Amino acid sequence: MNHSKEITDGALLTALYIILLLIGIFTPFIIIIMLFVLPIPIVVYAARYSWKPTLLMLFVILLFSLLIVPIISIPLTVLTSVGGLMIGTAIFQKRSAYETWARGTIGFVVGILFLFFFSQFILQVNWSQEIDMVIQDSIEMTEAIVTQFGMEEEMGDQLQLIEQQMYTFKDLLPASIAMLSIFLAIICQWLSYKVMNRVEKRKLSFPPFKKLNFPISIIWIYLIAMILSLLTLDPNSTIYLVVINTFVLTSLFIIIQGFSFIFFFADLKKIHKVLPISIVIISLLIPQIFLVLIRIIGIIDIGFSLKTKLENGKPSS
């Protein structure tokens, strides 16, 4: 009976996936939304039956994908399938919400890397050249606007700085992939929780954001990357790319921890949520000042277990 239900659920969820895939491919602008929605049938199935039956389901989905604009459907299916499989399997194994998020992030990283290799070797798209062309076009457009207003002399140094920052973005491509994967994973997981809670009457949820705690190893990795970034490294070297991408990613985690502490402190002091939400918005609008402060708060919270000390009524230092 259980095996029969497993097959039936697999067929229904496979059909649902194919329908969603068709909608995403043939409906303009919907494909971006489908990046978050497509993994849900896979998450639901993997959360019920684990990874082995899900691999068979994914094989069937890939076969159908070959018949539906394969240039689009295959990379899209691989991206959403790996991420969905990782999230669903973690739910089946009763992992914590944040560990499930981490596994989903790894899955989406693998999927995005497949997209790059697929486009590079199958579609013959040279991403390095494409990014250089986009940067060069942006620089030329900016220079044209500055020249049109007769501000070449005043904006000379700023233009050089802008050009350097644009090419730095190219070096931060690995960190950008990781950040995109983090975002895809958390939204997909959240939507999957909502679906399973409604359909299967589960009680899946993320712990309150205020209780988020990253391991102290994040601080050490951040400090090592920061020290190495102060050294004169060859911008074309592998170690340079590793250092700056590690620094950016650990900075992001520490900032998230800082925001988490603000929500924790507001709740501890019975302050309305409007204040911490406003702080987040202002920090994103004026990052040069506020994100530095948020990062410092995050470092103190992780390094000195500030939340635990405040909860226990101990001094925060």
The pair of structure tokens assigned to 242 is 């590793």
Question: What is the number of helices (H) and of strands (E) in the chain?
Answer: 14, 0
Compute CA distances 235 → 31, 134, 179, 232, whole Å.
Answer: 36, 20, 22, 9
Q: Is 241 exposed, middle or buried (0-12, 13-18, 19+ CB in 10 A)?
A: middle
pLDDT score, position 61: 93
What are 33-49's pLDDT values in tens digits? 888 999 999 999 999 99
**Spatial contact of 71 and 140, defined as CB atoms under 8 Å apart:** no
CB atoms within 10 A of CB 181: 22
Say how far apart CA 265 and CA 259 lie, in whole Å: 10
> Please, what sign has the CA dihedral across residues 278, 284, 287, 292?
positive
What's the pLDDT score for residue 316?
44
Q: Which pLDDT value is given to residue 317?
A: 43
Averaged pLDDT, 36-64? 93
Alpha-carbon distance of 298 to 254, in angstroms, equals: 5
**What is the structure's pLDDT at 301?**
92
Summarize pLDDT for 197-244 with one digit per residue, the tens.
Answer: 999 888 899 888 888 888 888 899 999 988 888 887 777 777 888 888
Instruction: Give the pLDDT mean for 243-247.
Output: 86
- Of the pLDDT bands very low, low, confident and very high (cuts 50, 70, 90), residue 152 is low
Share of the chain above pLDDT 70, in %: 91
The mean of the pLDDT values for the chain is 85
What is the rounded average pLDDT of the residues 78-105?
92
Residue for token pair 């995050």: 298
Residues found in the chain: 317
CA distance 270 to 265: 8
Q: Which residue has the higher pLDDT, 139 or 253?
A: 253
Taking CB atoms within 8 Å and a gap of at least 24, the contacts of 119-126 are 119/75, 122/71, 123/71
Q: Residues 148-176: what's their mean pLDDT?
A: 69
